[in-house]
Chain A
Amino acid sequence: MEKFYTRMGDGSAIELSESELKRDLEEGTKDAAERAKIPPLSEDDLRRLLDIYKCPDKSVGVERGKEVILSYDSGTTKFNRANISVSRLQSLQLYERALGADTMEMGHMDYSYKPAKSIMWIEQPTLEQALLVTIPALFYGAMPNLGLYTQPDGPCSNPMELIPQGKIPEARAAQEEMVEHAVKDMVFVGSTMYESGADGINFDTTAAAGDAEFLAVLRAIAILRKKYPQMCIEVGMSGEFILGMHGGLEYDGVRLAGLYPHKQLELVEKAGATIFGPAINTNTDESCPWNVARSATFAKICGENSHIPVHANVGMGVEGIPVTLTPPVDSVSRVSKAMVEVARLDGL
Protein backbone atom coordinates (compact mmCIF):
# COMPACT_ATOMS: atom_id res chain seq x y z
CA MET A 1 0.00 0.00 0.00
CA GLU A 2 1.34 3.43 -0.96
CA LYS A 3 2.33 5.60 1.97
CA PHE A 4 2.53 9.39 2.09
CA TYR A 5 5.17 11.30 4.04
CA THR A 6 3.86 13.83 6.54
CA ARG A 7 4.43 14.81 10.15
CA MET A 8 2.88 14.88 13.59
CA GLY A 9 2.06 18.18 15.29
CA ASP A 10 5.45 18.08 17.05
CA GLY A 11 7.23 17.86 13.70
CA SER A 12 8.25 14.20 13.86
CA ALA A 13 8.00 12.40 10.52
CA ILE A 14 5.30 9.78 9.90
CA GLU A 15 3.89 7.94 6.88
CA LEU A 16 0.14 7.57 6.32
CA SER A 17 -1.85 5.61 3.75
CA GLU A 18 -4.49 7.38 1.68
CA SER A 19 -7.26 6.03 3.89
CA GLU A 20 -5.41 7.18 7.01
CA LEU A 21 -4.95 10.64 5.47
CA LYS A 22 -8.66 10.82 4.66
CA ARG A 23 -9.56 9.71 8.17
CA ASP A 24 -7.34 12.36 9.79
CA LEU A 25 -8.71 15.12 7.55
CA GLU A 26 -12.30 14.13 8.30
CA GLU A 27 -11.67 13.85 12.03
CA GLY A 28 -9.81 17.19 12.13
CA THR A 29 -12.63 19.14 10.51
CA LYS A 30 -15.20 17.30 12.63
CA ASP A 31 -13.37 18.26 15.82
CA ALA A 32 -13.41 21.98 14.90
CA ALA A 33 -17.03 21.88 13.74
CA GLU A 34 -18.23 20.24 16.96
CA ARG A 35 -16.26 22.51 19.27
CA ALA A 36 -17.24 25.82 17.63
CA LYS A 37 -20.65 24.73 16.28
CA ILE A 38 -19.64 25.69 12.74
CA PRO A 39 -19.93 23.82 9.42
CA PRO A 40 -17.24 21.23 8.65
CA LEU A 41 -15.20 21.50 5.46
CA SER A 42 -17.00 20.43 2.29
CA GLU A 43 -16.16 17.29 0.33
CA ASP A 44 -14.40 19.49 -2.24
CA ASP A 45 -12.30 21.13 0.46
CA LEU A 46 -11.33 17.75 1.94
CA ARG A 47 -10.43 16.47 -1.54
CA ARG A 48 -8.20 19.50 -2.09
CA LEU A 49 -6.49 18.95 1.27
CA LEU A 50 -6.00 15.29 0.39
CA ASP A 51 -4.28 16.33 -2.86
CA ILE A 52 -2.03 18.72 -0.92
CA TYR A 53 -0.95 15.94 1.45
CA LYS A 54 -0.58 13.28 -1.26
CA CYS A 55 1.76 15.52 -3.25
CA PRO A 56 5.27 14.05 -2.86
CA ASP A 57 7.01 17.39 -3.40
CA LYS A 58 8.96 18.85 -0.51
CA SER A 59 7.50 22.29 -1.05
CA VAL A 60 4.08 23.27 -2.43
CA GLY A 61 2.57 26.65 -3.30
CA VAL A 62 -0.66 28.35 -4.29
CA GLU A 63 -1.84 28.48 -7.88
CA ARG A 64 -0.65 31.50 -9.89
CA GLY A 65 -2.95 34.45 -9.24
CA LYS A 66 -4.04 33.25 -5.79
CA GLU A 67 -1.20 34.88 -3.87
CA VAL A 68 -2.13 36.79 -0.71
CA ILE A 69 -0.71 39.53 1.52
CA LEU A 70 1.73 38.63 4.27
CA SER A 71 1.78 40.60 7.52
CA TYR A 72 4.11 39.96 10.45
CA ASP A 73 4.30 39.81 14.18
CA SER A 74 7.49 40.44 16.13
CA GLY A 75 8.99 41.38 12.75
CA THR A 76 12.26 43.05 13.64
CA THR A 77 12.98 40.96 16.73
CA LYS A 78 13.29 37.73 14.76
CA PHE A 79 16.72 38.58 13.34
CA ASN A 80 17.97 39.46 16.83
CA ARG A 81 16.51 36.27 18.29
CA ALA A 82 18.53 34.37 15.72
CA ASN A 83 21.62 36.29 16.89
CA ILE A 84 22.03 38.03 13.55
CA SER A 85 23.84 41.28 14.16
CA VAL A 86 21.66 43.75 12.32
CA SER A 87 19.81 46.82 13.53
CA ARG A 88 16.05 47.05 13.35
CA LEU A 89 16.29 49.39 10.39
CA GLN A 90 18.54 46.89 8.61
CA SER A 91 16.08 44.11 9.50
CA LEU A 92 13.29 46.06 7.83
CA GLN A 93 15.42 46.59 4.72
CA LEU A 94 16.08 42.86 4.62
CA TYR A 95 12.33 42.15 4.81
CA GLU A 96 11.69 44.76 2.11
CA ARG A 97 14.51 44.02 -0.32
CA ALA A 98 15.53 40.41 0.29
CA LEU A 99 12.48 38.59 1.64
CA GLY A 100 9.64 39.94 -0.50
CA ALA A 101 7.60 41.26 2.44
CA ASP A 102 4.25 42.79 1.48
CA THR A 103 4.01 44.70 4.77
CA MET A 104 6.47 45.09 7.65
CA GLU A 105 6.43 45.43 11.40
CA MET A 106 8.80 47.07 13.87
CA GLY A 107 8.75 46.25 17.56
CA HIS A 108 10.77 46.55 20.75
CA MET A 109 12.89 43.51 21.72
CA ASP A 110 10.71 42.97 24.82
CA TYR A 111 7.69 43.15 22.45
CA SER A 112 5.03 44.12 25.00
CA TYR A 113 3.15 47.41 25.27
CA LYS A 114 4.05 47.96 28.94
CA PRO A 115 7.87 47.99 28.52
CA ALA A 116 7.58 49.76 25.14
CA LYS A 117 5.68 52.63 26.75
CA SER A 118 8.68 53.84 28.76
CA ILE A 119 11.03 53.91 25.76
CA MET A 120 8.76 55.57 23.20
CA TRP A 121 11.27 58.42 22.95
CA ILE A 122 13.79 56.03 21.41
CA GLU A 123 11.25 54.03 19.41
CA GLN A 124 9.89 57.10 17.63
CA PRO A 125 13.10 58.27 15.88
CA THR A 126 13.93 54.70 14.84
CA LEU A 127 10.49 54.33 13.28
CA GLU A 128 10.76 57.75 11.66
CA GLN A 129 14.10 56.83 10.09
CA ALA A 130 12.71 53.53 8.85
CA LEU A 131 9.74 55.30 7.27
CA LEU A 132 12.09 57.57 5.33
CA VAL A 133 14.00 54.76 3.65
CA THR A 134 11.46 51.95 3.19
CA ILE A 135 8.43 51.64 0.93
CA PRO A 136 5.98 48.90 2.13
CA ALA A 137 3.50 49.80 4.87
CA LEU A 138 5.04 49.64 8.33
CA PHE A 139 3.26 48.55 11.52
CA TYR A 140 4.43 49.13 15.07
CA GLY A 141 3.55 46.04 17.07
CA ALA A 142 3.66 44.54 20.53
CA MET A 143 1.77 42.14 22.80
CA PRO A 144 -0.88 43.28 25.30
CA ASN A 145 0.72 40.85 27.79
CA LEU A 146 -1.56 41.41 30.77
CA GLY A 147 0.67 39.28 32.97
CA LEU A 148 3.20 42.13 33.18
CA TYR A 149 0.75 44.14 35.28
CA THR A 150 0.91 41.75 38.25
CA GLN A 151 3.14 42.09 41.31
CA PRO A 152 6.10 42.10 41.75
CA ASP A 153 6.67 43.54 38.25
CA GLY A 154 3.38 45.43 38.08
CA PRO A 155 0.90 47.21 40.33
CA CYS A 156 -1.87 44.58 40.61
CA SER A 157 -2.32 41.50 42.77
CA ASN A 158 -1.60 38.29 40.90
CA PRO A 159 -4.84 36.48 40.00
CA MET A 160 -2.90 33.25 39.49
CA GLU A 161 -1.97 33.36 43.17
CA LEU A 162 -5.41 34.47 44.32
CA ILE A 163 -7.45 31.83 42.43
CA PRO A 164 -5.81 28.79 44.12
CA GLN A 165 -6.54 30.45 47.48
CA GLY A 166 -10.22 30.61 46.60
CA LYS A 167 -10.11 34.41 46.46
CA ILE A 168 -12.21 34.62 43.30
CA PRO A 169 -13.68 38.12 43.81
CA GLU A 170 -10.18 39.46 44.54
CA ALA A 171 -8.77 37.71 41.45
CA ARG A 172 -11.53 39.21 39.32
CA ALA A 173 -10.97 42.69 40.77
CA ALA A 174 -7.24 42.41 40.05
CA GLN A 175 -7.91 41.50 36.42
CA GLU A 176 -10.31 44.40 36.04
CA GLU A 177 -7.61 46.73 37.38
CA MET A 178 -5.06 45.21 34.98
CA VAL A 179 -7.41 45.94 32.08
CA GLU A 180 -7.46 49.65 32.96
CA HIS A 181 -3.65 49.87 33.06
CA ALA A 182 -3.23 47.90 29.83
CA VAL A 183 -5.75 49.99 27.89
CA LYS A 184 -3.91 53.18 28.88
CA ASP A 185 -0.54 51.75 27.79
CA MET A 186 -1.82 50.38 24.48
CA VAL A 187 -3.57 53.63 23.60
CA PHE A 188 -0.48 55.63 24.58
CA VAL A 189 1.90 53.51 22.50
CA GLY A 190 -0.52 53.22 19.58
CA SER A 191 -1.12 56.97 19.54
CA THR A 192 2.55 57.83 19.88
CA MET A 193 3.72 55.58 17.07
CA TYR A 194 0.86 56.54 14.76
CA GLU A 195 1.68 60.18 15.34
CA SER A 196 5.27 59.36 14.39
CA GLY A 197 4.04 58.07 11.03
CA ALA A 198 3.38 54.34 11.47
CA ASP A 199 0.87 52.98 8.95
CA GLY A 200 -0.73 50.80 11.57
CA ILE A 201 -0.63 49.22 15.00
CA ASN A 202 -0.51 45.48 15.61
CA PHE A 203 -1.91 43.82 18.73
CA ASP A 204 -0.11 40.50 18.68
CA THR A 205 -0.90 37.39 20.73
CA THR A 206 -4.13 38.94 21.92
CA ALA A 207 -5.95 37.26 24.82
CA ALA A 208 -2.99 35.12 25.88
CA ALA A 209 -3.98 35.97 29.47
CA GLY A 210 -7.64 35.24 28.81
CA ASP A 211 -10.85 37.21 28.65
CA ALA A 212 -9.53 40.25 30.56
CA GLU A 213 -6.75 40.71 28.02
CA PHE A 214 -9.20 40.39 25.13
CA LEU A 215 -11.38 43.04 26.73
CA ALA A 216 -8.40 45.38 27.15
CA VAL A 217 -7.53 45.06 23.46
CA LEU A 218 -11.13 45.60 22.32
CA ARG A 219 -11.37 48.76 24.43
CA ALA A 220 -7.99 50.02 23.15
CA ILE A 221 -9.08 49.42 19.54
CA ALA A 222 -12.30 51.37 20.06
CA ILE A 223 -10.43 54.35 21.56
CA LEU A 224 -7.76 54.37 18.84
CA ARG A 225 -10.37 54.05 16.08
CA LYS A 226 -12.22 57.06 17.43
CA LYS A 227 -8.99 59.09 17.72
CA TYR A 228 -7.55 58.03 14.34
CA PRO A 229 -10.20 57.03 11.79
CA GLN A 230 -7.53 56.26 9.14
CA MET A 231 -5.29 54.08 11.33
CA CYS A 232 -4.84 50.43 10.34
CA ILE A 233 -5.33 48.21 13.38
CA GLU A 234 -4.37 44.54 13.12
CA VAL A 235 -5.37 42.06 15.83
CA GLY A 236 -3.55 38.74 15.97
CA MET A 237 -5.01 36.29 18.45
CA SER A 238 -3.06 33.93 20.73
CA GLY A 239 -5.27 30.86 20.60
CA GLU A 240 -8.50 29.42 19.27
CA PHE A 241 -10.48 29.80 22.49
CA ILE A 242 -10.78 32.76 24.90
CA LEU A 243 -9.83 31.43 28.31
CA GLY A 244 -12.22 32.51 31.06
CA MET A 245 -9.62 33.55 33.61
CA HIS A 246 -12.15 36.10 34.88
CA GLY A 247 -15.27 34.51 33.49
CA GLY A 248 -17.70 37.38 33.79
CA LEU A 249 -16.33 40.00 31.40
CA GLU A 250 -18.39 41.22 28.48
CA TYR A 251 -17.89 43.53 25.51
CA ASP A 252 -20.96 45.07 23.93
CA GLY A 253 -23.15 42.61 25.81
CA VAL A 254 -21.22 39.50 24.70
CA ARG A 255 -19.49 37.30 27.27
CA LEU A 256 -15.85 36.95 26.23
CA ALA A 257 -14.92 33.67 27.90
CA GLY A 258 -15.27 30.71 25.58
CA LEU A 259 -15.42 32.55 22.27
CA TYR A 260 -14.08 30.72 19.21
CA PRO A 261 -12.44 32.56 16.28
CA HIS A 262 -15.58 33.39 14.28
CA LYS A 263 -17.10 35.00 17.39
CA GLN A 264 -13.82 36.74 18.28
CA LEU A 265 -13.88 38.22 14.77
CA GLU A 266 -17.34 39.74 15.30
CA LEU A 267 -16.18 41.69 18.35
CA VAL A 268 -12.86 42.70 16.81
CA GLU A 269 -14.76 44.07 13.80
CA LYS A 270 -17.27 45.83 16.03
CA ALA A 271 -14.48 47.49 18.04
CA GLY A 272 -13.05 48.92 14.80
CA ALA A 273 -10.08 46.77 13.77
CA THR A 274 -8.91 46.63 10.15
CA ILE A 275 -7.35 43.14 9.96
CA PHE A 276 -8.13 40.03 12.05
CA GLY A 277 -5.70 37.17 12.63
CA PRO A 278 -7.20 33.97 14.03
CA ALA A 279 -4.81 31.60 15.80
CA ILE A 280 -5.66 27.88 15.99
CA ASN A 281 -3.56 25.77 18.32
CA THR A 282 -1.59 22.85 16.89
CA ASN A 283 -2.19 19.55 18.69
CA THR A 284 1.14 17.70 18.94
CA ASP A 285 -0.61 14.34 19.46
CA GLU A 286 -2.30 14.51 16.07
CA SER A 287 -0.94 14.56 12.51
CA CYS A 288 -0.39 17.70 10.43
CA PRO A 289 -3.29 16.75 8.09
CA TRP A 290 -5.59 16.47 11.12
CA ASN A 291 -4.38 19.83 12.45
CA VAL A 292 -4.61 21.62 9.11
CA ALA A 293 -8.14 20.34 8.38
CA ARG A 294 -9.16 21.50 11.85
CA SER A 295 -7.49 24.92 11.47
CA ALA A 296 -8.93 25.47 8.00
CA THR A 297 -12.41 24.78 9.39
CA PHE A 298 -12.05 27.48 12.06
CA ALA A 299 -10.39 29.91 9.64
CA LYS A 300 -12.73 29.41 6.68
CA ILE A 301 -15.82 30.55 8.56
CA CYS A 302 -13.90 33.68 9.63
CA GLY A 303 -13.09 34.48 6.01
CA GLU A 304 -16.69 33.89 4.93
CA ASN A 305 -18.25 35.97 7.73
CA SER A 306 -15.77 38.86 7.85
CA HIS A 307 -16.11 42.34 6.40
CA ILE A 308 -12.41 43.00 6.97
CA PRO A 309 -9.32 41.14 5.69
CA VAL A 310 -8.46 37.96 7.60
CA HIS A 311 -4.75 37.08 7.99
CA ALA A 312 -4.39 33.74 9.79
CA ASN A 313 -1.49 33.32 12.19
CA VAL A 314 0.81 30.75 10.60
CA GLY A 315 3.81 30.78 12.88
CA MET A 316 5.28 28.04 15.00
CA GLY A 317 2.61 25.99 16.80
CA VAL A 318 -0.51 27.42 15.21
CA GLU A 319 -2.73 26.64 12.20
CA GLY A 320 -1.15 23.22 11.82
CA ILE A 321 2.47 24.43 11.79
CA PRO A 322 4.39 21.97 14.00
CA VAL A 323 5.36 23.01 17.50
CA THR A 324 9.10 23.27 16.91
CA LEU A 325 11.64 26.09 16.57
CA THR A 326 12.61 24.83 13.12
CA PRO A 327 9.32 24.17 11.29
CA PRO A 328 9.97 21.99 8.20
CA VAL A 329 9.37 23.49 4.75
CA ASP A 330 7.08 20.59 3.77
CA SER A 331 4.71 21.32 6.69
CA VAL A 332 4.84 25.11 6.48
CA SER A 333 4.23 25.30 2.72
CA ARG A 334 1.23 22.95 3.03
CA VAL A 335 -0.32 25.13 5.72
CA SER A 336 0.34 28.20 3.54
CA LYS A 337 -1.42 26.62 0.55
CA ALA A 338 -4.31 25.23 2.61
CA MET A 339 -5.07 28.54 4.32
CA VAL A 340 -5.26 30.31 0.96
CA GLU A 341 -6.94 27.72 -1.25
CA VAL A 342 -9.18 25.94 1.27
CA ALA A 343 -9.83 28.54 3.99
CA ARG A 344 -9.75 31.26 1.27
CA LEU A 345 -8.21 33.93 3.46
CA ASP A 346 -6.99 37.42 2.50
CA GLY A 347 -3.53 37.03 3.92
CA LEU A 348 -1.29 35.28 6.38
Chain B
Amino acid sequence: MHITHSIASGMGGMRTAGDLVGRMQMSRGMKIKEAKEYVANKLKVSVADLADPIVMNEVREDLDIGRVNALPRVSKGIDAKFRIAKLLDIEINCVNMFKDRIGKKMEV
Protein backbone atom coordinates (compact mmCIF):
# COMPACT_ATOMS: atom_id res chain seq x y z
CA MET B 1 0.00 0.00 0.00
CA HIS B 2 2.90 2.34 0.77
CA ILE B 3 4.28 1.86 -2.74
CA THR B 4 0.92 2.79 -4.27
CA HIS B 5 0.68 6.03 -2.27
CA SER B 6 4.31 6.83 -2.99
CA ILE B 7 3.74 6.54 -6.73
CA ALA B 8 0.27 8.12 -6.76
CA SER B 9 0.89 11.20 -4.65
CA GLY B 10 4.22 11.13 -2.76
CA MET B 11 7.02 13.59 -3.43
CA GLY B 12 9.65 10.86 -3.73
CA GLY B 13 11.76 11.29 -0.61
CA MET B 14 15.51 11.38 -1.26
CA ARG B 15 14.95 10.60 -4.94
CA THR B 16 13.69 14.19 -5.14
CA ALA B 17 13.27 16.90 -2.50
CA GLY B 18 10.55 15.10 -0.56
CA ASP B 19 12.68 14.73 2.55
CA LEU B 20 13.53 18.45 2.50
CA VAL B 21 9.90 19.57 2.11
CA GLY B 22 8.94 17.08 4.83
CA ARG B 23 11.49 18.66 7.16
CA MET B 24 9.90 22.09 6.70
CA GLN B 25 6.48 20.70 7.63
CA MET B 26 8.00 19.06 10.70
CA SER B 27 10.34 21.81 11.88
CA ARG B 28 8.24 24.88 11.07
CA GLY B 29 4.72 23.42 10.74
CA MET B 30 4.46 24.75 7.18
CA LYS B 31 1.54 23.79 4.95
CA ILE B 32 2.52 22.06 1.72
CA LYS B 33 2.48 25.14 -0.54
CA GLU B 34 4.61 27.22 1.83
CA ALA B 35 7.00 24.33 2.49
CA LYS B 36 7.56 23.70 -1.22
CA GLU B 37 8.13 27.38 -1.96
CA TYR B 38 10.59 27.66 0.92
CA VAL B 39 12.65 24.68 -0.25
CA ALA B 40 12.49 25.70 -3.92
CA ASN B 41 13.80 29.14 -2.96
CA LYS B 42 16.66 27.67 -0.92
CA LEU B 43 17.58 25.23 -3.70
CA LYS B 44 17.09 27.83 -6.44
CA VAL B 45 14.79 25.55 -8.47
CA SER B 46 11.13 25.78 -9.48
CA VAL B 47 8.43 24.24 -7.27
CA ALA B 48 7.62 21.73 -10.03
CA ASP B 49 11.27 20.60 -10.11
CA LEU B 50 11.15 19.57 -6.45
CA ALA B 51 9.48 16.26 -7.35
CA ASP B 52 11.56 15.63 -10.48
CA PRO B 53 14.18 12.93 -9.76
CA ILE B 54 16.37 13.93 -12.71
CA VAL B 55 16.63 17.59 -11.74
CA MET B 56 16.87 16.89 -8.04
CA ASN B 57 19.53 14.20 -8.40
CA GLU B 58 21.80 16.81 -10.00
CA VAL B 59 20.88 19.47 -7.43
CA ARG B 60 21.53 17.08 -4.56
CA GLU B 61 24.85 16.08 -6.08
CA ASP B 62 25.90 19.73 -6.47
CA LEU B 63 24.88 20.58 -2.90
CA ASP B 64 26.20 17.28 -1.51
CA ILE B 65 23.10 16.65 0.61
CA GLY B 66 22.80 12.91 0.02
CA ARG B 67 21.49 10.87 -2.87
CA VAL B 68 19.87 7.45 -3.19
CA ASN B 69 22.83 6.08 -5.11
CA ALA B 70 25.55 7.17 -2.73
CA LEU B 71 28.99 7.27 -4.33
CA PRO B 72 32.34 7.27 -2.49
CA ARG B 73 33.50 10.46 -0.77
CA VAL B 74 30.11 12.18 -0.69
CA SER B 75 27.88 13.06 2.27
CA LYS B 76 25.80 10.24 3.69
CA GLY B 77 23.61 9.98 6.77
CA ILE B 78 24.44 12.42 9.55
CA ASP B 79 26.97 14.42 7.50
CA ALA B 80 24.32 15.07 4.83
CA LYS B 81 22.00 16.26 7.61
CA PHE B 82 24.62 18.76 8.80
CA ARG B 83 24.54 20.24 5.30
CA ILE B 84 20.72 20.14 5.07
CA ALA B 85 20.36 21.99 8.39
CA LYS B 86 22.59 24.76 7.12
CA LEU B 87 21.02 24.84 3.65
CA LEU B 88 17.44 25.08 4.95
CA ASP B 89 18.38 27.20 7.97
CA ILE B 90 16.69 24.81 10.38
CA GLU B 91 17.62 23.02 13.58
CA ILE B 92 17.93 19.24 13.22
CA ASN B 93 17.74 17.55 16.59
CA CYS B 94 20.24 14.75 15.99
CA VAL B 95 22.70 17.12 14.31
CA ASN B 96 22.70 19.37 17.37
CA MET B 97 23.17 16.34 19.62
CA PHE B 98 26.05 15.10 17.47
CA LYS B 99 27.73 18.49 17.88
CA ASP B 100 27.20 18.30 21.64
CA ARG B 101 28.61 14.78 21.78
CA ILE B 102 31.84 15.74 20.10
CA GLY B 103 32.15 18.66 22.46
CA LYS B 104 31.80 21.66 20.23
CA LYS B 105 29.40 23.47 17.95
CA MET B 106 30.88 22.68 14.57
CA GLU B 107 30.46 24.90 11.57
CA VAL B 108 30.01 23.27 8.15
A residues with a Cβ closer than 8 A to B are 59-62, 64-72, 78, 95-97, 99-103, 128, 131-138, 194, 196-200, 230-232, 274-275, 306-309, 314-316, 321, 327, 329, 332-333, 336-337, 339-340, 345-348
What is the CA–CA distance of A103 and B10 in the complex, to the nearest angstrom? 11
List 16 A-B residue pairs with CB atoms under 8 Å apart, sorted by A's residue number. Answer: A59-B4, A64-B51, A99-B6, A100-B10, A100-B13, A102-B12, A102-B18, A102-B22, A131-B78, A132-B77, A137-B19, A230-B27, A316-B1, A336-B4, A347-B25, A347-B32
- Residues of B contacting A102 in the complex (Cβ-Cβ under 8 angstroms): 10-13, 18-19, 21-22
In contact, B22 and A137 (Cβ under 8 angstroms): yes
What is the CA–CA distance of A70 and B12 in the complex, to the nearest angstrom? 9
What is the CA–CA distance of A304 and B89 in the complex, to the nearest angstrom? 28
What is the CA–CA distance of A219 and B8 in the complex, to the nearest angstrom? 36
Contact A137/B8 with A68-B32, A97-B14, A197-B94 known, Cβ cut-off 8 Å: no
Question: How near does chain B come to A133, taking the closest CB pair, in angstroms?
Answer: 4
Main secondary structure of the interface of B (DSSP, over half): helix
In contact, B11 and A69 (Cβ under 8 angstroms): yes
Question: How near does chain B come to A202, taking the closest CB pair, in angstroms?
Answer: 11
Residue B5, interface by CB 8 Å: yes
Contact A99/B2 with A194-B93, A274-B29, A348-B9 known, Cβ cut-off 8 Å: yes
In contact, B93 and A199 (Cβ under 8 angstroms): yes
Contact of A68 among B9, B14, B84 (CB under 8 A): B9
- Residues of B contacting A138 in the complex (Cβ-Cβ under 8 angstroms): 94
In contact, B18 and A100 (Cβ under 8 angstroms): yes
Q: Looking at B19, B26, B65, B78, which has the most chain A CB atoms within 10 Å of its CB? A: B26
Residue B68, interface by CB 8 Å: yes
- Residues of B contacting A128 in the complex (Cβ-Cβ under 8 angstroms): 94
- Residues of A contacting B25 in the complex (Cβ-Cβ under 8 angstroms): 69, 274-275, 309, 346-347
The tally of residues in B whose CB lies under 8 Å from a CB in A reads 47
Question: How near does chain A come to B9, taking the closest CB pair, in angstroms?
Answer: 4
- Residues of A contacting B58 in the complex (Cβ-Cβ under 8 angstroms): none
- CB closest residue in chain B, given A269: B29
- CB closest residue in chain A, given B17: A102
In contact, B5 and A348 (Cβ under 8 angstroms): yes
Question: How near does chain A come to B96, taking the closest CB pair, in angstroms?
Answer: 9
Contact A275/B26 with A199-B93, A340-B9 known, Cβ cut-off 8 Å: yes
Contact of A67 among B1, B9, B29, B98 (CB under 8 A): B9
Question: How near does chain B come to A235, taking the closest CB pair, in angstroms?
Answer: 13
Residue B80, interface by CB 8 Å: yes
In contact, A62 and B19 (Cβ under 8 angstroms): no
Question: How near does chain A come to B31, taking the closest CB pair, in angstroms?
Answer: 5
Which residues 36-69 in B have Cβ within 8 Å of A in the complex?
A: 47-48, 51, 65-66, 68
- Residues of A contacting B14 in the complex (Cβ-Cβ under 8 angstroms): 96-97, 100, 135-136
In contact, A103 and B77 (Cβ under 8 angstroms): no
- Residues of A contacting B15 in the complex (Cβ-Cβ under 8 angstroms): 100
In contact, B94 and A97 (Cβ under 8 angstroms): no
Question: How near does chain A come to B33, taking the closest CB pair, in angstroms?
Answer: 8
What is the CA–CA distance of A31 and B22 in the complex, to the nearest angstrom? 33
